[in-house]
Structure 1
Amino acid sequence: MHIGITSPIVVQHPSNAADWEAGAGIEELVRIARQADRLGFHHLTCSEHVAVPVDIAAERGATYWDPLATLGFLAAHTDRIKLATQVLVLGYHHPLAIAKRYGTLDVVSGGRLILGLGVGSLQEEFELLGAEFEGRGARADDALAALRASLSQSNPEYHGTHYDFENLVVKPHAVQTRVPLWIGGRTPRSLRRARSQGDGWVPFGLPLGDLESMLAKGEQREDFEVVLSAGAPLDPLGNRAAVADSLERRRQAGATIVSASIHATSAEHYCDQLATLRAIGDELDVEFHSNQIGATS
């Protein structure tokens, strides 16, 4: 099992955003990203919303940094940590636009892109962007197939029900032979979609017992990633035992990767928490990308 980091600052959800994040910016984010990279954590995340209605922002949050700009900037300040969109809404983009823009991110990051993708549920945002809300599931399935045919290809060709293209050149394109596609969602259909068309599943908002039951149904490829949230923000310095228990329960539920939010009161505290989380992970035989624990950040 690996541990990734649900990036602070870039998404400020009312349920878990800390007060210090409201006044933080790119300098604090880079400091945290460098620490996570140095310690060998699996990934950083950035989600997507273009515009959230005021009345819905109270529930979902209002702050969402653009993932392409954010992850591109972080790519220049890190070396090994993977960069995950969690998630892009498929209906907001043509598949070739994703292939070109995020393929370029894969190039500049040295092949560290993970594309987390979702169907989307905010109807007001679909309408704002001129995207079709009805039938978005079927359109997303076709977009996924088109993406799989297009990523890492100079001359992509695809003929589907919603997307159809050939005789085109897309350069640059992703340098990974197979860019990992993680499918977000909280329904059995999202898990089926992930298993049939993706490389991993990123569920949200479900109790651990429900996740375990869902994962027990159906076959799972050996290389399939199950990316489970750590739940409430982890507090490694404050309660090592609770953190270890949270991680171990998710491993038992089937997680191959845990995506963790971290309790902190400042960027400095956050970095200290990451160092302790790495130590707890070592005790649990969690896998990390780097052994450079003694390096300076």
Structure 2
Amino acid sequence: MRIGITTPVVVRHPGASAEWERTAGIEEIGQVAEAADRLGYHHITCSEHVAVPVEAAEQRGGAYWDPLATLGYLAARTTRIRLATKVLVLGYHHPLAIAKRYGTLDRVSGGRLVLGLGVGSLKEEFELLGAPFEGRGARADEAIAALRAALGRRVPEFHGEFYDFAGFVVEPYAVQERVPLWIGGRTARSLRRAVTHGDGWVPFGLPLDTLSAMVRRADPPGGFDIVLGPGRPLDPSGSPEAAERALEAVRDAGATIAGVHVTAESAGHYCEQLEALHALGTKIGIVFGDADD
């Protein structure tokens, strides 16, 4: 199992984000990314919302850094850690727009992109952006297929019900022959979508025993990523035994990658916690560095 970092600051959930994140900016984000890169963590993340209704922001937060700008900056401050969108909302973009923008990110980062993709659930945001909300699942399935046909190709071609293109040059384009596509969600349908169209599943909001049972029933193929989190921040310095148990529980649930965040009082403390988590993870057999690259 590998460990990836749920990047602090870039998303602020009420009651979940640390106080220091309220006033932190890109320098602190970069400091954390550099530490995670140096220590051999698998990935850092950035999520997407364009505009969150005031009422919804009280529950899910209103601060969401743009993933393309943020990960582009972090690409320049790191050398090997993967850059993961977690997640882009497919309905907000044409597949070729994603292929162009994030294919460029893959190129400038030397092939470190992971595209986390989701169907989306915030109806008001869909309406604001002029994106169809009804039927978004079917559109998302086709968008994933269109992306698979487009990423890494100069003249992509795809013919479907919602998306149809041929004879257009998209350059620059991704340097990876197969950009990993992680599909987000919390339903059996999202897992089927991931197994059918993607390279990994990034669920949220469900207990580990439920997730483990879902993964066993789906019987994903070899090489398929299951990205699970412990459900709470880890404190590897203050409570190493609890952090170790949490990582082992994630691994026992079937995770190939643990997506974690740690408790911290500052960006510097966050980096110290990453050092402690690295030492703890190494002891229990977590893989760090370039072993799977």
Instruction: Give TM-score scaled by structure 2 length.
Output: 0.98
Asked whether the 8 Å contact 1:230–1:261 carries over to 2, the reply is no
Give the deviation of 1:290 after TM superposition.
5.6
Asked whether the 8 Å contact 1:228–1:259 carries over to 2, the reply is yes
Say whether residues 1:116 and 2:116 are aligned partners. yes
In the TM superposition, 1:20-31 aligns within 5 A as: 20-31=20-31
Q: Which amino acid aligns with 2:289?
A: H
Which position in structure 2 is the counterpart of 1:62? Answer: 62
Give the deviation of 1:230 after TM superposition.
2.3
Q: Secondary structure at the match of 1:145?
A: helix
Runs of 4+ displaced beyond 2 Å: none
Give the deviation of 1:185 after TM superposition.
0.1
Give the deviation of 1:289 after TM superposition.
1.2
Of the structure 1 ranges 271-280 and 9-18, higher mean CA displacement relative to structure 2 is found in: 9-18
Give the deviation of 1:161 after TM superposition.
1.1
Residues 228-279 of structure 1, C-alpha deviations (whole Å, 9 max, x = no match): 0121111111100001000001101100000001110101110100000000
Q: Distance in 2 between matches of 1:33 and 1:214?
A: 32
Q: Which amino acid aligns with 1:200?
A: G
Q: Secondary structure at the match of 1:148?
A: helix
Aligned-pair identity (%): 64
Q: Distance in 2 between matches of 1:36 and 1:74?
A: 11
Asked whether the 8 Å contact 2:91–2:119 carries over to 1, the reply is yes
Q: Distance in 2 between matches of 1:148 and 1:15?
A: 37
Asked whether the 8 Å contact 1:235–1:263 carries over to 2, the reply is yes
In the TM superposition, 1:27-176 aligns within 5 A as: 27-176=27-176
Which position in structure 2 is the counterpart of 1:266? Answer: 266
Q: Which amino acid aligns with 1:187?
A: T
Q: Distance in 1 between matches of 2:116 and 2:218?
A: 22
Asked whether the 8 Å contact 1:116–1:182 carries over to 2, the reply is yes
Q: Secondary structure at the match of 2:218?
A: coil
Give the deviation of 1:219 after TM superposition.
2.4
Of the structure 1 ranges 248-257 and 211-220, higher mean CA displacement relative to structure 2 is found in: 211-220
Q: Which amino acid aligns with 1:134?
A: E
Q: Secondary structure at the match of 1:45?
A: strand
Q: Distance in 1 between matches of 2:260 and 2:104?
A: 27
Which position in structure 2 is the counterpart of 1:233? Answer: 233
Q: Distance in 2 between matches of 1:67 and 1:89?
A: 11
In the TM superposition, 1:192-207 aligns within 5 A as: 192-207=192-207
Question: Which runs of 5 or more residues in structure 1 are unaligned?
Answer: 292-297
Give the deviation of 1:220 after TM superposition.
1.2
Give the deviation of 1:218 after TM superposition.
2.6
Asked whether the 8 Å contact 1:199–1:225 carries over to 2, the reply is yes
Give the deviation of 1:15 after TM superposition.
3.8
Asked whether the 8 Å contact 1:208–1:250 carries over to 2, the reply is yes
Asked whether the 8 Å contact 2:40–2:290 carries over to 1, the reply is yes
Q: Which amino acid aligns with 1:99?
A: A
Question: Which runs of 5 or more residues in structure 2 are unaligned?
Answer: none
Q: Which amino acid aligns with 2:16?
A: N
Residues 172-225 of structure 1, C-alpha deviations (whole Å, 9 max, x = no match): 000000000000000000000000000000000001110011011032111100
Number of matched pairs:
291
Of the structure 1 ranges 9-18 and 100-109, higher mean CA displacement relative to structure 2 is found in: 9-18
Q: Distance in 2 between matches of 1:135 and 1:64?
A: 25
Instruction: Give TM-score scaled by structure 1 length.
Output: 0.97
Say whether residues 1:213 and 2:228 are aligned partners. no
Give the deviation of 1:14 after TM superposition.
1.4
Q: Which amino acid aligns with 1:69?
A: A
Q: Distance in 1 between matches of 2:207 and 2:30?
A: 32
Q: Distance in 2 between matches of 1:230 and 1:40?
A: 20
Which position in structure 2 is the counterpart of 1:189? Answer: 189
Q: Distance in 1 between matches of 2:22 and 2:143?
A: 35
Residues 153-187 of structure 1, C-alpha deviations (whole Å, 9 max, x = no match): 01100001100010111110000000000000000
Q: Distance in 1 between matches of 2:13 and 2:192?
A: 28
Q: Which amino acid aligns with 1:96?
A: L
Q: Secondary structure at the match of 1:217?
A: helix
Say whether residues 1:3 and 2:3 are aligned partners. yes
Q: Distance in 2 between matches of 1:83 and 1:190?
A: 22
Asked whether the 8 Å contact 1:38–1:290 carries over to 2, the reply is no
Give the deviation of 1:135 after TM superposition.
0.3
